[in-house]
Chains A and B, each alone.
Chain A
């Protein structure tokens, strides 16, 4: 087995963040993209034995356990976790164990946390994943959050989304602040790359986009039979658009789930949708840096936000016929 150390640092920014739909982390194997995922029945994790900013190691572990449970209890996904114990190892070691802990990274003054991986580059299997939480920030474990402090459980829930193999979602709205960074107005996914801000605990609860993402990666029960997918292509002047953010809204369920046109010629597929008619909205990635999501090579952000003129139907247990969504250049 060819095993390579691949460190993919997925950062959650303290500054406001953009909105998008779920994205699976992948490794390139030749011309194909293989999703990163765990291939064990129960993923074992360790917590560091050091607290930070007034949070004890025990409190830290409790918050992490709650966040792991949030992902584990998604009824349509089958992934389970096991806390093994506290460790003196640090979250940046390639040591064969998955460690989550505080670490002071003053140079990363906009990064709340980051997740890194050791993966089998042939199969995409995650062998180890470490998460650090930046100790330069002040953190809270209060149930209702605390003004001026980032909610540890919310950030942990986001990082554990990466830990299981999810990339960033673009479901959110932001604006660039004159002093730098972005101001977040709203998000539709825990996996949005920018925090909702200090004192906010909303990211403790997964959103439909997060649930669809983890369920598509680790489908459980009849998930594949009871949900549907939309397959299409985004074009501008007849040419495929790479990297468009495509959001599907089901008026009946009120759910927003997104994806990206990352396939050849601007194709996309959004799976895990509730069956029925969907409104499609296509937008350029403009609510966060493109490299928050994927390699920026060839990404087209030079088109207008567009609503598709057709309702598109996700059939139960299948995928729609492929359709084109034409957008206009800016």
Chain B
């Protein structure tokens, strides 16, 4: 039933695509959903140190190095084009990456290993979209984005939450695949996004910002 409805929807859009509009109309809500890739991020190094009896240097019990592993992610986005040049977007991402801490150099030769846990990783953000229509190729309209948002990470078992924030810049391209001038649904399109996230807070070892690349592909509908 659901499949039939979807096909009907596609056909309905296709049959009215004669206008061949390739960018979403102004002031119309665009909702996008897709999947993406979220790169890992180094979280920092930390040594487990005791106090040396004979010097002021720490006595290392073992060393650790932590990172957030690569992961796939679900990507949701809402956007509105305010003008032919500028738009606004809100975005949410969910991933389930591993937090990996490699433990090495144990003073009593315990075998080195990488200790892991699974996180629930959420990004909720919003920003400005700048359309670069002059660079359009084959109907694909490039754009640049920038904004800020909220980072929420839940440790395995959902027992502990850590929060932070992010800034991002990036870009991508989008194209309406089909559109029509009337009705509730005005179009269907595809877009690809690449973003550079600068994360602070959340799960980390060193209180420094981390860089993360997010790549996603989405299908969007225009209302």
Contacts and interface: CB of A to CB of B under 8 A. Distances in A.
A240 B28 CA distance: 64
Contact of A249 (B64, B159, B203): B64
Chain B, interface size: which category? 35 or more
Contacts of B44: 251
A308 interface: yes
Interface residues of A, number: 45
A280 B110 CA distance: 12
A184 B53 CA distance: 7
B122 interface: no
Contacts of A188: 49-51, 61
B103 A315 contact: no
A256 B162 CA distance: 21
A97 interface: no
A184 B54 CA distance: 9
Interface stretch (B111-119, B174-182, B209-217): B111-119
A256 B48 contact: yes
B148 interface: no
Given A196-B53, A283-B108, A307-B62, A313 B160 contact: yes
A277 interface: yes
A202 B51 contact: yes
A197 B53 contact: yes
Interface string A314-330: 11101011000000000
Contact of B50 (A187, A311, A314, A316): A187
Contacts of B107: 173
A315 B157 CA distance: 10
B4 interface: no
Contacts of B47: 254
Interface in B41-84: 44, 46-54, 59, 61-62, 64, 66
B156 interface: yes
Contacts of B204: 252
Q: Which of B46, B50, B53, B110 has the most CB of A within 10 A?
A: B53
A304 interface: yes
Given A251-B46, A256-B61, A281-B62, A228 B51 contact: no
Interface of A: 16, 19, 171-173, 184-188, 196-197, 200, 202, 207, 228, 247, 249, 251-252, 254, 256, 275-277, 279-281, 283, 304-316, 318, 320-321
10 cross-chain pairs, A with B, having the tightest CB-CB distances, nearest first: A186-B59, A186-B50, A315-B159, A251-B46, A311-B117, A313-B155, A305-B110, A188-B50, A249-B48, A315-B160
Given A202-B51, A276-B160, A307-B112, 16 more contacts: A173-B50, A173-B107, A185-B50, A186-B50, A186-B53, A186-B59, A251-B64, A254-B47, A256-B50, A275-B160, A276-B203, A281-B106, A307-B111, A310-B115, A315-B160, A321-B157
9 contacts: A19-B50, A186-B50, A186-B52, A207-B51, A247-B48, A254-B47, A305-B108, A311-B101, A313-B160
Interface of B: 44, 46-54, 59, 61-62, 64, 66, 99, 101, 103, 106-113, 115-117, 155-157, 159-160, 162, 203-205
